[in-house]
Amino acid sequence: MKKIVQKFGGSSLDTVEKRTIVANHIKKALDSKYKTVVVVSAMGRLGKPYATDTLIKLAEDEYPHIDPREKDLLMSCGEIISAVIMVQSLKKIGVDAVALTGAQAGILTDNKYGASEIKSVAPEKIFKLLDEGKTPVIAGFQGITGEGDITTLGRGGSDTTASVIAAAIGALFIEIYTDVEGVMTADPALVKDARTLGKVSYNEVCELAYQGARVIHPRAAEIAMREGIPIKIRSTFTGGAGTLIDERGMCSIRGDKPVTGVTSRRNIIFIKIIPDKPAEYATGLFVFSILAEHGISVDFINIRPEAISFIVEAGDTEKVMKLLSDSNFNFTVHDDFVKVSVVGGGMTGCPGVMAKMVEALNRENIAIYKTTDSHTTISSLLKKDKEKEALNALHKIFELDK
């Protein structure tokens, strides 16, 4: 039995016309003799009636503080609605389909509401439906705890659903359909010469995603990498080949290009803790224990006697400020920075990448406030109003348009 998983994002599902296109993608796979499992996101974005952000706003307009358990219950509704409607679209063209919630699909999670981790998948119901010649349409982004509470997997969680389901059923590959052509060398809204990559490695796409690219959730890529399941990123609306994500990526054909893509994270806050005396800065290191205890991830850490600095997600700002104030830290908060990164598996052991990055930014008179690097990524902290200029300069100097 040749099995595949197809995942469709919300921007591919928010009109009858788009759902008809999606239904035909699914039917084409079925006609090619693939047993197909479908995963769907909520339909559309904020403003659309059944989008997740619209549902949240509906509740917050009534009362702004939603209990995490109730919020997860609410947020799971968008995907369930999407699954049911997609089933109707499939039945209209003669495909026998059945909608499943994450719980009905056998996805068991822990109880970290809003960002739950998947503990296991029991795919028996999925196998039963496939054996009966039916197409399961699973509501992404959600699961259920051992106590029977609905949980959600965090933003981009439908990608994760697709990967764990693919692993559980032994799928040959995963197709993720979206509103762009595939994984691109840069955000085309910011870099006019951005182009679609034919192949990338799991590691490269994970780094691109962690550093701000929004085509696939890094958890989904990590699961697929662990299980050795190729991922195809394709446009719902064009016939392009898209991007293949697998173990080797473009390493064998990249030639002398060390960088695969450039990306940015703008939804960040830069925090600096200033000790009362330089000799007492070690006491400030306790901040990382405090933040870790409250589930707050930090990045771009810089520790010096005169200051300790780091960045956090903008959504954690109020929580971080309260924790720091309660602990009597002397700190400043800045929301005018962006983290710009170059990513590529080819930069490992390749000298001169940092120098080239600095050269490109200096040539455009873009100030660099901090830098950090790993085997596959080099990042710089810049002023937010220089983001577009920086991305274009880096895209050009690393010849990503060719």
Q: Is the pLDDT of residue 46 over 70?
A: yes
325/25 Cα distance (integer angstroms)? 53
Q: Which of 60-69, 115-124, 250-259, 296-305 has the lowest mean pLDDT?
A: 250-259
Q: Is the pTM of this model over 0.85?
A: yes
Instruction: Give the domain ranges of the chain.
Output: 3-179
Half-sphere exposure of 285 (CA within 13 A, CB side): 9
pLDDT 10s digits, 318-366: 999 999 999 888 899 999 999 999 999 878 767 788 999 999 999 999 9
What is the pLDDT at residue 333? 95
What is the pLDDT at residue 121? 97
Q: Which of 21-35, 95-109, 264-278, 384-398 has the lowest mean pLDDT?
A: 264-278
What interhelical angle do 286-293 and 317-326 show, nearest 10? 130
Q: Is the pLDDT of residue 170 over 90?
A: yes
The whole-chain average pLDDT of the chain stands at 91
% of the chain residues with pLDDT over 70: 95
Strands 173-178 and 3-8: parallel
pLDDT band (50, 70, 90) for residue 275: confident
For the domain covering 3-179, report its CATH number.
Answer: 3.40.1160.10
Beta strands in 41-105, from DSSP E residues, in sequence order: 97-100
199/260 Cα distance (integer angstroms)? 10
323/273 Cα distance (integer angstroms)? 13
What is the pLDDT at residue 281? 55
What is the pLDDT at residue 252? 38
